[in-house]
Structure 1
Amino acid sequence: MPALPAFLSRFLAVALLAGLCLVGSGPVAVADWTPAPASYGMGEQREVPVTMADGTVLRADVYFPTRPDGTAAPGSFPVVLTQTPYGALMSAAPGLTDPDAGLTLLGGGNKYLVQRGYINVIVDVRGTGGSQGTWDFLGQREAQDGAALVRWAAALPNSSGVVGLDGASYMAINQFFTVAELGPGSPVKAMFPMVPSIDPYRDMVFPGGNFGAASNVVYLALTGFMQLVNAVTAGNPDLLVVLLQRVAGLLTFHVSTLLQGTTDGELVYDGAYWQARSPRGVLDDVVRSGVPIQMMGGWDDVFERGQLHLYNDLQSIAAGGRAGQPMRPEQAVDPRYRLTMGPWHHVTVGSGIDVDRLRLQWFDHYLKGLDTGIGGPTLRLNEVGTDRWVGATHFPFPQATPTALYPRANGGLSTTASTTSGSDTIIYTPAAVPCNRGLDQATAGGLVAVFNALRIPPPCAHNDNLTQLPLLGQTYTTEPFSTPQVIAGPMSASIVATSSRADTQFAVTVSTVAPNGVSTPVSSGSLLGSQRAVDEAQSWRAPDGNYLLPYHPFTREAAQPVPVFSRVRYDIEVPTTVARVEAGHRLRVTVSSADTPRLLSTPLDLLNQLGGVYGIKWGPGGSLVEIPLAPVDAFAEAPPA
């Protein structure tokens, strides 16, 4: 993975802030464990060839402990492996690797680990960086390569034979596929995935069945650019082969994905392609492997929806259940599966706390067999609005009571439904005011990072009043809370509506409203009306019978037109949050037809939506939202770990 020219390094540093992946610093360890001091220097071998079974040559950088004279230190060291599709991007802006900056690139050697007795290996996955082949986004061939790379890494000189997997975003997701491919008894003894996704289709690419415009365009543009940059700057003898393969890869993945995603291609639906790239499909094998997993996620991360579901599924499977089944309140908790959820975007995960220490604590325990004091609640959650850290073990949270709230006349929202019927009008618009939480979330927090770097408060991250314009959306607001409460868990909005067109698009945002009128968004969900079918077997119901989590198939077969001017129910998933509603504050639900720039209707969907007028029904048999609420003392405080 060669260094880039200076002008490209500067460009890519800015591009990274605008929206790709990667991360920051992380949780504090227990008080009675102290990280070992730096005892080694760091040596490196660049562009090491690793030949796969089919003859394809991948390229790796190997970082290893050294003595004061720069020679390799004697000893036996665990290996920490990261598999990246971003190549030279990982060393494009070395200034951003400072944890104090709040951004960390997971590439180049992890000096902190190497100085404390680890070998660190960074490999360009097939078809990226300096590696040969064609990139197949999270495909089966890549999983097979991952297994081969683990076995190769375990046999490196001075390796102790055990391997840990590390990385964020894509490099977090591919850890699950590698471990599933290896099976039980492999050299992998621990994983440390940060901002992973359980289901790329639902989490980012087609949230609610709608094209995830901002995330998808940014991702395709930056990775496409990086494919060419890495090819022309690759310092290895495979340059011509690699360059030709990159051009082919741009056509087969980037161009094809964009065309299919914006038309009616198979990638629009959750079919075989996306199911094969969903970690949920291999979690049975991951649990069977017995590999302990410490995850980190963020409430404002683009993959936020799936991170607590990853935790839930790992725990459910470990207890004899299945993926997608909610944890039982009485089930035993497996301490090998842990998640820390903080107030972070994709590019700022872990900022403000020490991820180097947490990673070392995890790997020292499971790769070196040291007692590092890992324990306590398996879930560590930052409470939105207070910055209080709390602990939990089960999900959905048994501390919270799912509560139905009903829209009423004049924009009211109450725990009792109106005895009279009414209707509020929304005029469909394909775009809305882009100053909203979705803008920051879908661009991976890049805009927030830029504002923070300029010491300017982000204008949209904590205020969504501009998105609540009359006719473009309807807001429903409770009376002020008499006592503070915590929104804790997955939510749903069951919207009953009529439409003048054969398809609809709904976006639902849950916000808290301060006495001064400022509306702060805490979670949002969406649904394409033609994809409103619900898979009851995969859905979660609250004790009151309402949906806590409606699960939609999003297949071509499940799609159905919206009957014009008929009452139709749309059950919309609103992702989990843990957020404080202070006494004197109110809870608000906004229903609209757009979430710009996070969502974009495909041209075919747009033709069926333009000119739409929706009637939101309330009263008997009308709309409702289901929101789990808990008293503030229901969760004990627990430091992030």
Structure 2
Amino acid sequence: MKKLVFNIKDSGKRRIKTEFPRELKKLENIWIPMSDGAKLAAHIWLPVDAEVNPVPAILEYLPYRKNDFTAIRDSVRHPYFAGHGYASIRVDIRGAGDSDGILLDEYLKQEQDDALDVLSWIARQPWSTGGVGMIGKSWGGFNGLQVAARNHPALKTIITLCSTDDRYADDVHYRGGNLLASDMLWWASTMFAYNARPQDPAVVGDSWRENWLDRLENTPPFVEEWVRHQRRDEYWKHGSICEDYSDIQIPVFAVGGWQDGYTDSIFRLLEYLPKESKGLIGPWAHEYPEVATPEPAIGFLQEALRWYDHWLKGIDTGIMDEPKLISYIQESERPAVTYEERPGKWVADPSWPSPYVNSENWYPAKGSISKEVPQGDDILVPSVQEHGLYYGVFCPFGQPGDLPADQRLENGKAVVFTSAPLTEKLELLGHPIFHAELAANQEDALITVRLMDKAPTGESTLISYGMLNLTHRNSHEHPEKLEPGRKYKVEVKLDSLGQEIPAGHQLEIAVSPTYWPSAWPSPKPVDLTLYFGEATFMELPVRTPHEEDQDWGHFDAPETAQVMEREILRKEERTREISYNPIEGVWTIADFSDEGERRLPSNGIRHGSKNKNTWSIKENDPLSAYNRCEWELTLGRDDWNITLETDSEMWSDETKFYLVNKLTAYEGEKKVFHKTWKAGIDRDHV
């Protein structure tokens, strides 16, 4: 997930730095030559005396347009690094912003090859010591890992935030072998609109129009390729560094938050990457920790400097004396779709897996959960197609309404097991795993498992969930149809968590064969039979508090450079509504996000966007599932105005997925482009 929401709060808790140890300058629209003759566009912030006293470099490498769309967020971070003695470099990847070419898909080999050329170019500059670190959130975090695996000699370390090592199992496309209906089309539609934006004529000159028309005609809707690859094949293995962790031989600082959609990868990275690697997990959404919500935000830029100073300047900052993983255990909170703050505590683990975390098994029986193994019995788990509407969004960005609502709204649509009130608190850190013995009445089926904290007053807070396409029970690469009625033993790995459950609260586990719109429904309604006994249990990662926990997590207050001047032309707005038509039996989620419109006085650019997403489904009819995503983007100056409109739709029958993508472009009031892409793609065990 890589949506751009700049969510910096003007808070007394955040310090704005206007003076730095090194005086700095900004070099705008620098061209970096590629080995094939193409050019990538960059901004560079560096100390004014860097050619006399060369500095290491920090590279951020993104498709999100340095001149406008990320200009505000870049202004608080890159000058900060430069003022502390680094060349901080922001590059638009090929096909994005002012850079040459067309962006044909995510994370292509070409993107990595270009990054190697960028690294070589940086190492040759007179202001460079030759040592480079990379930093990036989401897309930039992904490609930081991928480029690290290519072992360029100039790249000494990376900081990766909100990213993944596994492009198939742990991104916006598929989860647990299920097509992620909440995000696959939405993210593809986002890039469909983003990729259609032109170069800046003030930078590239009259050639912008020819390049723009080329991008409009030849940039594909990514979703078609993503849906063509419904299993873990070579397409997804490319760029997934989990295929061979040993490819990365430099230290990695992996950072994320419990509200983010990508936190699971941090645990794998710490387990398998070089021993010098470290992890940090806070309560945050998909954002940099110095500006993230919910609080507590931290002085992350100071932590980044400590990391880079150690690995790029050889300064002993003490960061390597600290524990492998510092994470935030959240206190219990009643359910809310938005949190401004999450009370909790920082804890430290010397390694991962941690010696302080052990498994504790809880066994469901009819209506209950306990640590006692029940006598053999079973229960029917029927399909309710509208189960899952109150989950919130897969990857929250800190916008209002992103989080799960009170799960009592969901629990009547699933089979729920509830423990007795806890006699002492539980602290959980890591992945819950649901082990199940089950059977299905169809050859294609899925299972969803939710884990909840039920308060004495009845509210039910979702703390983790997991999904598994049961045809992927043995392999995401080689799925196998189910034999209806046959018993299978499966494991469902739930999302990682750091959570306290107080004494007096109850654990709840909910099981269902549906979870719309997170999982695209199975072709036919499914009934599962869950068998109780030794083979069916929830394995919880229980952490024992340690006396040294109190020594860590004492971060400085958030600190940034001064945010650049900007003029707000239209304010942000977010609405998210769930509705029900009882006559038709149709449930609908309507999610609208107006990300506002801004003008940047520094270059005169005006940019804005609006996004409307709709998911609907009819009771008892999995083939009624429907998703539509619409975008409107504006970009321009007083004498140059671009409007882009996209409309993307997805639905299915028993054998195929259907996709329709439309793109319309205007220059001023004149329509200059319109095209429709249509595809029907066979379902492959999904």
Q: Which has the higher helix share?
A: 1
> Partners in 2 of 1:532 and 1:229 — Cα distance?
42
| Aligned with residue 123 of structure 2, among 154, 160, 169 | 154
Show the counterpart of 2:239. 277
Show the counterpart of 1:626. 539
Give 1:298's aligned amino acid: G
Work out whether 1:85 is the aligned partner of 2:63: yes
The alpha-carbon distance between structure 1 residues 460 and 109, as it changes in their structure 2 partners (threshold 3 A), is: closer
Work out whether 1:611 is the aligned partner of 2:552: no
Give 1:600's aligned amino acid: W
Question: Which one scores higher on RCO, CA 8 angstroms, separation ≥ 6?
Answer: 1
| Aligned with residue 406 of structure 1, among 363, 373, 377 | 363
Encode CA deviations 1:311-358: one digit per residue, 9 max, x unaligned. 1111xxx4xxxxxxxxxxxxxxx3x21100111121364531111111
Work out whether 1:201 is the aligned partner of 2:174: no
> Any conservation in 1 of the 2:4–2:70 contact (CA below 8 Å)?
no
Encode CA deviations 1:101-159: one digit per residue, 9 max, x unaligned. xxxx3578611111222211111112222222332421222212111111101222322
Deviation at 1:418, TM superposition (A): 1.3
Give 2:285's aligned amino acid: H
> Partners in 1 of 2:242 and 2:210 — Cα distance?
35
> Any conservation in 2 of the 1:36–1:116 contact (CA below 8 Å)?
no
Show the counterpart of 2:326. 380
Secondary structure of 2:281's aligned partner: strand
> Partners in 1 of 2:256 and 2:116 — Cα distance?
25
Deviation at 1:565, TM superposition (A): 2.5
Work out whether 1:503 is the aligned partner of 2:444: yes
Q: How does 1:136-175 map to 2 (within 5 A)?
A: 136-175=105-144
> Any conservation in 1 of the 2:387–2:414 contact (CA below 8 Å)?
no
The alpha-carbon distance between structure 1 residues 107 and 613, as it changes in their structure 2 partners (threshold 3 A), is: farther
Show the counterpart of 1:570. 490
Show the counterpart of 1:363. 308
- RMSD over equivalenced CA pairs, Å: 2.8
> Any conservation in 2 of the 1:299–1:343 contact (CA below 8 Å)?
yes
> Any conservation in 2 of the 1:260–1:268 contact (CA below 8 Å)?
no
Show the counterpart of 1:491. 432
Deviation at 1:273, TM superposition (A): 0.8
> Any conservation in 2 of the 1:510–1:521 contact (CA below 8 Å)?
yes
Work out whether 1:132 is the aligned partner of 2:100: yes
> Partners in 1 of 2:96 and 2:184 — Cα distance?
19
Secondary structure of 1:527's aligned partner: strand
Show the counterpart of 1:390. 347
Encode CA deviations 1:521-561: one digit per residue, 9 max, x unaligned. 2211101121111xxxxxxxxxxxxxxxxxxx312xx2122
Show the counterpart of 2:386. 431
The alpha-carbon distance between structure 1 residues 337 and 109, as it changes in their structure 2 partners (threshold 3 A), is: closer
Encode CA deviations 1:481-515: one digit per residue, 9 max, x unaligned. 21112122222112222322221121111122221
Q: Which runs of 5+ in 1 are unaligned?
A: 1-14, 26-34, 98-104, 319-333, 452-457, 534-552
Show the counterpart of 1:28. none
> Partners in 2 of 1:591 and 1:157 — Cα distance?
61
Give 2:553's aligned amino acid: P
> Partners in 1 of 2:289 and 2:7 — Cα distance?
5
> Any conservation in 2 of the 1:231–1:246 contact (CA below 8 Å)?
no
TM-score (norm 1): 0.76
Encode CA deviations 1:196-215: one digit per residue, 9 max, x unaligned. 21112111221100111223
| Aligned with residue 197 of structure 2, among 212, 229, 232 | 229
> Partners in 2 of 1:554 and 1:635 — Cα distance?
40
Work out whether 1:416 is the aligned partner of 2:372: yes
Show the counterpart of 1:243. 212
The alpha-carbon distance between structure 1 residues 115 and 239, as it changes in their structure 2 partners (threshold 3 A), is: same
Deviation at 1:395, TM superposition (A): 2.0
Give 2:185's aligned amino acid: V
Show the counterpart of 2:574. none
Encode CA deviations 1:589-621: one digit per residue, 9 max, x unaligned. 1112233332224xxxx32xx232222222x36
Work out whether 1:554 is the aligned partner of 2:476: yes
> Partners in 1 of 2:351 and 2:6 — Cα distance?
28
Give 2:248's aligned amino acid: V
Give 1:118's aligned amino acid: Y
> Any conservation in 2 of the 1:109–1:122 contact (CA below 8 Å)?
no
Secondary structure of 1:383's aligned partner: strand
Show the counterpart of 1:181. 150
Show the counterpart of 1:523. 464
> Any conservation in 1 of the 2:356–2:545 contact (CA below 8 Å)?
no
The alpha-carbon distance between structure 1 residues 585 and 249, as it changes in their structure 2 partners (threshold 3 A), is: farther
The alpha-carbon distance between structure 1 residues 612 and 560, as it changes in their structure 2 partners (threshold 3 A), is: same
Encode CA deviations 1:418-451: one digit per residue, 9 max, x unaligned. 124131x322234324222xx23x1x313xx232
The alpha-carbon distance between structure 1 residues 580 and 432, as it changes in their structure 2 partners (threshold 3 A), is: same
Moved more, 174-183 or 293-302: 174-183
> Any conservation in 1 of the 2:349–2:356 contact (CA below 8 Å)?
no
Show the counterpart of 1:582. 502
Q: Identity over the aligned pairs, expressed in percent?
A: 20
The alpha-carbon distance between structure 1 residues 138 and 349, as it changes in their structure 2 partners (threshold 3 A), is: same
The alpha-carbon distance between structure 1 residues 311 and 144, as it changes in their structure 2 partners (threshold 3 A), is: same
Moved more, 567-576 or 517-526: 567-576
